[in-house]
Chains A and B, each alone.
Chain A
Amino acid sequence: MNDKFDAASDVSAPRPSTSGLGWDEFSREVVDFFASIKLAMFLFIVLAMTATIGTVIQQGERPETYVQEYGEEAYRWFLRLGFTDVYHTWWFTGLLGLLCVNSLTCFYKRFPGVWRSMRQDKVSVSLSFIQGMKQQTTLALGQPKETVAERLVRLFAEKGYRVLAKSDPGEITVYATKGIMGRIGAHVAHLSATVIVLGGLLGSYYGFQEFGVCLEGQTYHIPRGNFDLRVDKFWIDYHENGSVKSYNSTLTVIDQGTPTMTKTITVNDPLVYKGIWFYQSSYGDAWDQIEAARINIKEKASEKILATVDLEWNKEKAVDGLPLKMKMTDFVADFAFNSTEKKVFSKTAEHANPAIRLTVDERSSVQSTPWVFYHYPDLFEIKDSAYQFEFIGYQPKKFTGLQIARNPGINMVWIGCTMLVVGMTLSSLIYHRRLWAKIIPGESGVTLHLGGTTHKSQIDFQKEFKKLTEKIQAQT
């Protein structure tokens, strides 16, 4: 307890007056510890230090990434300490929790005093109390004490102070206070920490975040909201210099079979339906579908190009001048073959090794379904066919990347944030000032003892105190 409080200010929480077991002694110690400013400082610094870890070490990467960069031994330690996901470790969360406990205990211990100070305050103080203040002065005034008191009250009130006066035999004490809101603000900020953390927890337990890759013209079921979402349109706008200006998806919500809402979303402008938010998060080239492909048809024998055809997705096309019908049925962006399941799949979403599957109908006699490769034109040969097919170009189909999220804790977080900003601002801009004046009649006129205290912003208060003193003197 080395907190610097001016005397007669912060009265701690009411203390039960039982005797014996030393229980209240112990509980008071505990409260003092958890409410202490030292603990707050410690938590702030330790949180700041540990938070740096996650900015230096990449978070949530694959094990091989860490092993490559830091070595195996270091990676083992990372796992033990949770350095690959610092912000969700038990100890980091624990520190945040402690910060909440710390601020709540501080509120419990100190707020009642501030509250009481708002309602009723100590007017009567001893002379030595006034003389012990940082700002204090003694003036001799040649007026009766009632006049002086009246003037003081008026002066303080003019300056926006709340004034209380008390007349005792032989002396008058005047008390003035201003800016208690600064103190209230600090406590509001303290409470906000817990509100924000609770909102965050609510969101992480009852909310969800998913990422969906959607194609134009498709309808997707959203099981969490029990409705469907149709992607009507996706397009990109460009700046004059060719950089992307915005990307947009027109979405229609279909609830119970009827379209209920249509909105064009773009970055920073999501669609909200039944508490579920749809964000325009990204876009890219689909890895399992393309708009169109261009095929060269070569004669096997002479290697001569007989025709070039553009195929649209899944549409059969007869080739002019040749006894051929062709259709493109499949596309993979990064060709791979699973030999156990005998299945073709795309290894990654990158267009590293694009390939399409054709269905070729030659004079109704030869049927084949070859895979043709963009990078390797002569990889496979179709038996019995007179032709060779070359996949020479394609137009990718853009997908729209939607972030789908619901967060029931969000409003609580914003409430907490508002409390924090308002509380901090009040606490920073407004400071609590108190003045006491004792007017003691003497031989000729009165002696005025004036003392003042503040918990912040000493310079300004000093100036103000000086001005007040000058004003009081000038008026005599």
Chain B
Amino acid sequence: MMRSLFLFDMTFWLYLAALSLYVAYLFAKRPAMQMAPAGHPIDNLEDRDGAWATQLGQVATLVTVFGWVLNTLALTTRAFERMEHSGTFAPWSNQFEAMAYVSWAIILGYVLLEFRYRIKAVGAFVVGIGFIAMGAASLLPYRYQTAEPLVPALNSYWIYIHVSVTLTSYAAFAMAGGLGLMYLFKERAVNRGIQSRFYAAFPDLETIDELGYKAIMLGFPLLAFGIILGAMWANYAWGGYWSWDPKETWSLIVWLIYGAYIHARMTRGWEGHKAAIYAIFGFLMVIFCFWGVNFLLSGLHAYA
């Protein structure tokens, strides 16, 4: 009955394969022969690996893109399934679909990043998060995974825009979290003077830091927009744009946390190590906002 579930499943396995390939790619890289001159970290981004690693990297990218295409197909199929018995077809109408969508957005963001900056090492972390999101979705009980008809409050065109924008901001924060983790790994290696093959493929610290900052700069306005769209929806649904319901409040808390980050970046001493730890912390808060609130606290979003 649910053809989409099969596709979601396939997506899960492909992401797992992609993640494994990226990790293998890291191990296959040859250590850089020399340190690039300071001040020109861009030179580091040039591929200087053996043919073996290059091929691994290419396959990893291919599998990732293919997985993402399947993910897209799965969401599209789910949209058609929803069309059959619900007025709205937004394929992010329950926890499972939302997770699958976040996964989709993370992988899309990663692929764009790879094509733009030509860094494959990030894949080992960010594709990992996308895979975990998809995996966590698969772990949900079956009744969470099916496409039940929507309750009247959700059956509205607002669901397309409010939910998708908010989830996309989550994906951006997930990316920043992955980059923060990567930063800490690389930093440890640099501090201990480890010249292993593994870290050779990593971009330099400044680049990782900057990319993480960029991801948050993308997520921050998106989350604001998502929250505001939610307020507008609430205003049309129950006549109050803000009711301090747990989900509402938690999304605001997450926004405030990143607001502090954005302002901190303007001051000295908040790049690098501190920013990386903060980005991971912020991402954990996003996870709580997304999962914890639904399962631990009561509120209007209890069904989502």
Contact = CB atoms under 8 A, between A and B. Distances in A.
B293 A269 contact: no
A476 interface: no
Interface string B216-236: 011011001100100111011
Interface residues of B, number: 56
B152 interface: yes
Interface stretch (B23-31, B191-199, B254-262): B254-262
Interface stretch (B12-20, B181-189, B206-214): B206-214
Nearest to B244: A87
Given A425-B221, A459-B211, A420 B228 contact: yes
B214 A463 contact: no
Contacts of A245: 87, 149, 152, 155
B267 A44 contact: no
A173 B228 CA distance: 46
A104 to B, nearest CB: 15
B151 A59 contact: no
Interface in A367-425: 403-405, 410, 413-414, 417, 420-421, 424-425
Contacts of B148: 241, 243
A417 to B, nearest CB: 4
Given A246-B152, A458-B206, A41 B253 contact: no
Contacts of B238: 279, 281, 403
Interface in A214-268: 239-241, 243-247, 266-268
A2 interface: yes
A199 B148 CA distance: 38
A55 B246 contact: yes
A445 interface: no
Interface string B237-257: 111111010100110110011
A141 to B, nearest CB: 21
A414 B235 CA distance: 11
A3 B267 contact: yes
B155 A462 contact: no
Interface in A161-214: 200, 209
A410 B252 contact: no
Nearest to A248: B152
A453 to B, nearest CB: 14
A269 B155 CA distance: 11
Given A38-B267, A281-B239, A421 B210 contact: no
Contact of A3 (B224, B242, B266): B266
A48 B239 contact: no
Contacts of B250: 52, 55
Given A48-B256, A268-B153, A410-B235, A240 B85 contact: yes
Contacts of A4: 266-268
**Mostly helix, strand, loop or mixed at chain B's interface?**
helix
Contacts of A56: 297
Interface residues of A, number: 58
Interface centre among B42, B242, B256, by most A CB within 10 Å? B256
Contact of A268 (B224, B236, B253, B269): B236
Given A4-B268, A428-B218, A44 B235 contact: no
Given A4-B267, A268-B236, A269-B236, A459 B207 contact: yes
Contact of B210 (A281, A405, A459): A459
B297 A421 contact: no
B263 interface: yes
B2 interface: no
A267 B260 contact: no
Contact of B253 (A48, A200, A417, A429): A48
Given A241-B148, A456-B265, 17 more contacts: A2-B268, A2-B269, A41-B260, A44-B256, A45-B256, A48-B256, A51-B256, A244-B151, A267-B153, A268-B153, A268-B236, A279-B236, A279-B238, A421-B221, A421-B228, A428-B220, A462-B42
27 contacts: A3-B267, A4-B267, A37-B263, A37-B267, A38-B267, A40-B260, A41-B260, A44-B259, A44-B263, A45-B260, A48-B256, A55-B246, A55-B249, A55-B293, A87-B244, A241-B85, A243-B149, A245-B87, A266-B152, A421-B221, A421-B224, A424-B220, A427-B221, A428-B220, A458-B206, A458-B210, A459-B207
Interface of B: 41-42, 85-87, 148-149, 151-153, 155-156, 158, 206-207, 210-211, 213-214, 217-218, 220-221, 224-225, 228, 231-233, 235-242, 244, 246, 249-250, 252-253, 256-257, 259-260, 263-269, 293, 297
